[in-house]
Amino acid sequence: MFLVLRKWGIAAVALLFAALSQFAPVHAQGDPLPAWNEGKAKQAILDFVGKVTREGGAEFVPPERRIATFDNDGTLWAEQPVYFQLQFAFDEVKRLAAAKPELKGREPYRSVLARDLKGLTANGNKGLMQLMAATHSGMTTDAFATLVRNWFDTARHPTKQRRYDELVYQPQLELLRYLRANGFKTFIVSGGGVEFMRVFAEKAYGVPPEQVVGSSGVVKFRDGPDGKLDLFKEPKIEFIDDGPGKPAGINRFIGRRPILAFGNSDGDLQMLQYAAAGEGARLALIVHHTDAEREWAYDRKSAIGKLDKALDEGAAKGWVIVDMKADWKTIFPEAR
Amino acid sequence: MFLVLRKWGIAAVALLFAALSQFAPVHAQGDPLPAWNEGKAKQAILDFVGKVTREGGAEFVPPERRIATFDNDGTLWAEQPVYFQLQFAFDEVKRLAAAKPELKGREPYRSVLARDLKGLTANGNKGLMQLMAATHSGMTTDAFATLVRNWFDTARHPTKQRRYDELVYQPQLELLRYLRANGFKTFIVSGGGVEFMRVFAEKAYGVPPEQVVGSSGVVKFRDGPDGKLDLFKEPKIEFIDDGPGKPAGINRFIGRRPILAFGNSDGDLQMLQYAAAGEGARLALIVHHTDAEREWAYDRKSAIGKLDKALDEGAAKGWVIVDMKADWKTIFPEAR
């Protein structure tokens, strides 16, 4: 053995350490989920990962089938007082109107500037569609990503006073890492816009763009005003990745049924049903927002992130209901 | 060093070999592309991979941006005398009509059974839509995958007398492996049906389901006849991943611009344009079917895999035109 190593030389030793380091999290003696309090939820996660990765065990799942899907809003990061992407749209309207004052009298600008949400939604979804068209179309995909990046760098949450991409949940960051260290491929499956999420998901969650599934608008590859071919965002909805759209989106983008799914609202119910109904070991989890002090407390009657049917079905089917107040030692990561 | 290894014991040594083996292809002294003849095309590939992986080099690309997209029909496997998926549909029609003879007088069954392709396409695309509806909808996604798997196990190509999933190109299998060994993520971006391709792509190409982008029909998550929730294939086209749809599909599914794209027909033109127009090192390649003896020879006037505009634009822009007859030492892998 020693001779073999001598022959390989120093480069091989360096490679050895680099290569072995990737196995470290799996074999680490420490707690992989320090921001989770000891309890049923944490134990259910540890037990599940233990049994699906135990080679030769009755519930072993080969790595290529270790697919985990996470909702984003309210599951991986906060969603109050309004979905962060909606706040981005409001802020964009203000920025656009400041640059072009003649817009101020027109919808959706008038209602947003007057903080008149009732006016905005007076005609059902029409106002919201106008808002999305005004802020999420008419530019190249690259230009849109730059707008989102700039917004993250300048906007601050109104009550938490932090960057929006810092309002991610520390326990979930640990869970994502723990799953990946155990051979899982982690996906986001969210009602949020796919091109909005892709801007921050890789840095915030370690989830690359190709593992983000979301709602999308039509994008066309065509000549731009400068005659250069590029991808342009059109003011037309293509796909809503919510409710029954989630299993359809998972099938379309991933092509495999997840063995673990994590959500927080009735919009995640079908994703949870789909994951839970597969053969073999399955884990369905729900974040229940119960912590009015450190985060927010809301469920059955909330306009945002309503959790009603899924809470009942989860309780009936033995899904893991994560009680934020009791189960999470830490909510948000330390400020950078 | 020796002491450290003793402490780790045999398990660590086993891990060492397992871990190092994944680096082997990168450092192998042998030719990574033995089925490619020496020439401009092969050299262009080796040069490109060399420069984008050279750390500190001017054209280095970090691994997460090493995205390579491949068309499937005519690029990764053969497509003559008809697209293999179309042959699957014809064979399904025959199977269904044999089981239910009352179908025989109805379209698309009548035309397919009479080998009357003109009758099938008499009303433009209507006949083809009927064919796809009859063979690609009305069942769960899992049931469809089983039908496709059974077809691969029983169908044989009419002139090559081989399984269809053996009519993949050996040089491309080597290229896919070579790219992955150099940190690339390899994707299929094809006009073919995504649920058809996913059945064989992982075994045939080493490309997992979540890295297959293709055309799709609407899929709904709903109660089945047995009251069980499942994903059902509906008789409605959702997305055509061809022509300008390819860059749109890449954006939607992958969310990054590829640095390498490989096609063979005018349906790949926009994907090649999109990949080639990005910043930094880029490689666009086209398979030119020039080998009537070992495969097929066709281009500007072919009904299938027409290569006309892309051939001109590729020549003008310095894309790599792979001359199948001259550049490929082997076409298909050895029979299993």
Check if B98 contacts A (Cβ < 8 Å).
no
pLDDT at A126: 87
- A-chain CB neighbours of B22 within 8 Å are 19
Q: Which residues of chain A have pLDDT under 70?
A: 1-29
Report DSSP letters for B3-36, one per residue: HHHHHHHHHHHHHHHHHHHTTHHHH--S-S-TTB
Q: Which helix (H) or strand (E) holds A261?
A: strand A260-263
Tell me the two tokens of residue B288: 């030119």
Rounded CA-CA distance A214/B253 in Å is 10
pLDDT at A23: 44
- How many degrees, rounded to 5, is the angle at CA B178 between CA B54 and CA B21? 90
pLDDT at B20: 46
The total of other beta-carbon atoms located within 10 Å of residue B48's CB is 19
Check if B69 contacts A (Cβ < 8 Å).
no
Supply the ipTM of this predicted assembly: 0.89
List the domains of chain A with CATH numbers.
30-81+167-327 (3.40.50.1000), 84-154 (no CATH)
Rounded CA-CA distance A51/B330 in Å is 45
Rounded CA-CA distance B322/B44 in Å is 11
Nearest to B255 among A16, A64, A209 (CB): A209
pLDDT at B119: 83
Check if A219 contacts B (Cβ < 8 Å).
yes
pLDDT at A29: 63
pLDDT at A121: 81
Strands (DSSP E) contained in chain B are 67-70, 185-193, 212-223, 229-239, 260-263, 283-288, 320-323
Rounded CA-CA distance B292/B304 in Å is 15
Buried/exposed B309-327: b ≥16 CB within 10 Å, e otherwise? ebbebbeeeebbbbbbbeb
Asked if A210 lies within 8 A of B211 by C-beta distance, the reply is: yes
Question: Closest approach of chain B CAs to the CA of A237, in angstroms?
Answer: 13
Mutate to test the interface with B, among A252, A253, A274, A313 (most CBs of B within 10 A): A252
What is this structure's pTM?
A: 0.90
Q: Which residues of chain B have pLDDT under 70?
A: 1-29, 336
Check if A141 contacts B (Cβ < 8 Å).
yes
pLDDT at A84: 97
Mutate to test the interface with A, among B241, B251, B279 (most CBs of A within 10 A): B251
Check if A215 contacts B (Cβ < 8 Å).
no
